[in-house]
Chains A and B, each alone.
Chain A
Amino acid sequence: MSLDKDTVKNIAYLARIRVEEDKLEPLASELSSIMGWIEQLQELDTDGVEPMASVVDVQLPQRNDVVNDGGCRDAVLSNAPDAEDGFYTVPKVVE
């Protein structure tokens, strides 16, 4: 499977990672070589095999739907690079 420059540009945008225009071509060739190596999986017949969802044979636990944490706004915001008045901030999204 070969990834071209446009595909890399698209997935980089989906992942919200800025990749400079001149880096797209080398990155495409690197990712293509990784995907080419991964391609060997296609030779394996997996018809009727259940895809694994979890390695442990335990049932996921349930708990009562009650509030068991919270009330720590300042601790939560303590690492925000640009918190203001008890809120996270982002660049303007509504004109």
Chain B
Amino acid sequence: MNNLTDITIADARDKLASGDCSAVDLAQAYIKAMKTGRDLNAYITETPEIAIDRAKASDDRRAKGETLGAMDGIPIAIKDLFCTKDILTTAASHILDGFVPPYESTVSANLQDAGAVMLGKTNLDEFAMGSANITSYYGSVKNPWKASDGKDLVPGGSSGGSAAAVAGRMAMAATGTDTGGSIRQPASFCGITGLKPTYGRCSRWGTIAFASSLDQAGPMTQTVRDAAIMLNAMAGHDVKDSTSAPVDVPNFEAALAGDIKGLKIGIPKEYRMDGMSPEIQALWDQGVEWLKAAGAEIVDISLPHTKYALAAYYIVAPAEASANLARYDGVRYGLRVPGESLDDMYLNTRGEGFGEEVKRRILIGTYVLSSGYYDAYYIKAQKVRTLISNDFKAAFKDVDVILTPTAPSAAFAVGEKQSDPVAMYLNDVFTVPASLAGLPGISVPAGLSQNGLPLGLQLLGRPFDEETVLRTAHVLETNAGFTLHSGVKG
């Protein structure tokens, strides 16, 4: 049984069906890989016993001629932002010390119901706030790709542990969550595929909240086909999340068949930023050529309010975070640091329990929501959000999908960009606008930087049209011929 950790979900589905390998074989191969890859710090909690139990159950089903579908027996990692029943759930924060949820998030329950085998809970930026996975209470995550001088690189964030686990072959696939780019940017940095579905496609119930009007769960996988397969198992209406959309879930894998002849691809001129790195521009141009060669029509479009998206995001997201994180009070769960009075206990608990970046965002959020500033900042940002959303609505009258780079650079070294919060925020310049508009977006590994590091291209689609996004992504992937193993195992 060689290289079971190199195969895709689609391959594993075939091998399991033909009896070439068992779910227990797969689980054991990945449990070993988790152990040997511990230096990357991709996992906060490993759950090998659960993995073996669920893999056995999957094999037992198959022995009786039953299967739960394509995800049955597939070993996956779960970002430690999804509550998992009776298993430590941390959000990578000190303030959730010892929190063991008595319930299971809808997304992880859906995956379990589809037969997926959980390997463990992956590391992330604290409360999913960050773009480099350096704010975790449980330590930074390392990118499996190394700089040419051997230096450690960040995996991106906030779903950095999930991205590193998939790229480092310590999980066949993983769940992520994306608020402003937290699936797509780490996917780009680690050379994997990351899909943020339309807001409302996956239930948010049981996922620890950061910014509720933006948070959305999605798959992080080796291939576009795997993303399609896994999304089917995650998505669906849920009465427990009133913002989960009561719409049908199509067969996403079926959408990969067929071509993109005549499809209109928008190229937004505002994403051609001043000072954009030539290699990012070259990759983007290459993507245009691939899609053109596949019969798509390239259309220049304008999204005029793009330059204001990031600033609007850094009002809206912290504002929602400050409200959501008010629940960590030292009374109901997690850390409690004693104090003389109730107020003292709150101040001590929250002062000690939250990390620096989380505190910064809570304070910004508290400030922009405070009396006298609410209209000037929060309402202003919500108006800008309307303008950004209208830009996309107008563009999607003329085009079917939009092509942009995923991130302004390849993965950077650990320690870079840490002193200036705004420089760190600029990592999400290409991913945040679609988040504000609730649109589906995917990052596909499309090439290598001059230093041999992976770079992603991003495709954005109409609301609930993940199918066109996936089909177009599949064309990019086929042309790019990107292989993970050359870089990571080289």
Chain A residues in the interface with B (C-beta under 8 A): 3, 7-8, 11-19, 27, 30-31, 33-35, 37-38, 40-42, 44, 46, 49-58, 60-61, 63, 72, 75-76, 78-82, 88-93
* Interface membership of B37, Cβ < 8 A: no
A41 touches B381 (CB 8 A): yes
State the majority secondary structure of interface residues on B: helix
> Which residues from 398 to 442 on chain B have a C-beta closer than 8 Å to any C-beta of chain A?
420-422, 436-438
Contact between B347 and A17 (Cβ–Cβ < 8 Å)? yes
Contact residues in B for A19 (Cβ distance below 8 Å): 351, 359
State in angstroms the CA–CA spacing of A50 and B379 once bound together: 9
Note all chain B residues with C-beta closer than 8 A to A3.
367
Centre residue among A52, A57, A78 by max chain B CB count within 10 A: A52
Quick one: closest A residue to B358, CB to CB? A17
Contacts A14-B370, A27-B363, A88-B332 supplied; 10 other A-B pairs, CB < 8 Å: A17-B359, A17-B362, A19-B359, A38-B315, A40-B308, A41-B380, A49-B386, A57-B463, A81-B330, A81-B334
Q: Which B residues lie at the A interface, using CB under 8 A?
A: 98-103, 199-200, 213, 239, 242-243, 245-246, 305, 307-308, 311-312, 314-315, 322, 329-336, 338-348, 350-352, 354, 359-360, 362-364, 366-367, 370, 376-377, 379-387, 389, 420-422, 436-438, 463
Report yes or no: A15 in contact with B242, Cβ–Cβ below 8 A: no
Are B382 and A53 neighbours in the complex by a CB distance under 8 Å?
yes
In the complex, 23 of the A-B residue pairs with CB atoms within 8 angstroms, ordered by the A residue number, are A11-B370, A14-B370, A15-B362, A17-B363, A19-B351, A27-B360, A38-B315, A46-B387, A49-B383, A51-B379, A51-B382, A52-B383, A54-B243, A55-B436, A56-B199, A56-B438, A57-B463, A60-B243, A76-B102, A79-B101, A81-B336, A82-B336, A93-B341
- In the assembled complex, which residues on chain B have CB atoms less than 8 Å from the CB atom of A33? 420-422
Given the complex of chains A and B, what is the CA–CA distance between A19 and B366 in angstroms? 15
Which residue of the partner chain, among B308, B331, B363, contacts A80 with CB atoms under 8 Å? B331
Q: How far is the CB of B280 from chain A (nearest CB, A)?
A: 22
Cβ-defined contact, B342 with A91, below 8 A: yes
The 3 nearest A-B residue pairs measured at CB: A18-B351, A55-B438, A51-B382
Chain B residue nearest to A53 in the complex (CB)? B382
A12 / chain B contacts, CB cutoff of 8 Å: 363
CA of A30 to CA of B1, assembled, Å? 54
Is the pair B366, A91 in contact by a Cβ cutoff of 8 Å?
no
A21 to B377, CA, bound (A): 27
Chain A positions within 8 Å of B370 at CB level: 11, 14
B99 pairs with A79, CB closer than 8 A: yes
Contacting pair B213 A55 (CB below 8 A): yes
CA distance A42 to B438 in the complex (A): 24
For B336, list chain A residues within 8 Å (CB).
81-82
Q: Is the CB of B421 within 8 A of A63?
A: no
B330 neighbours in A (Cβ, 8 Å): 81
Question: Least Cβ distance of B216 to chain A in Å?
Answer: 10
Contact, CB under 8 Å: A61 / B242: yes
Asked whether, in the complex, the Cβ of B341 is within 8 Å of the Cβ of A56, the reply is no
Q: Please state if B334 and A79 are interface contacts (CB–CB under 8 Å).
A: yes
- Would you call B350 and A18 a contact (CB within 8 A)? yes
Instruction: Kindly list chain B residues whose C-beta atoms are within 8 Å of the C-beta of A15.
Output: 322, 350, 362-363, 366
Question: Given the known A-B contacts A17-B354, A37-B311, are A31 and B364 also in contact in the complex, defined by CB atoms under 8 Å?
Answer: yes
Cβ contacts under 8 Å, A40 to chain B: 307-308, 311
What's the Cα separation between A34 and B467 when bound, in Å? 38
In-complex Cβ contact of B200 among A38, A52, A58, A80 (8 A): A58
Pick from B213, B345, B347, B367: contact of A11, CB under 8 Å: B367
**How near does chain A come to B80, taking the closest CB pair, in angstroms?**
16
User: In the complex the two chains form, what is the Cα distance from A30 to B117 in whole Å?
Assistant: 44
A27: B residues at CB distance < 8 A: 360, 363
Q: Is the CB of A34 within 8 A of B347?
A: no
Cα(A77)–Cα(B345), bound, Å: 19
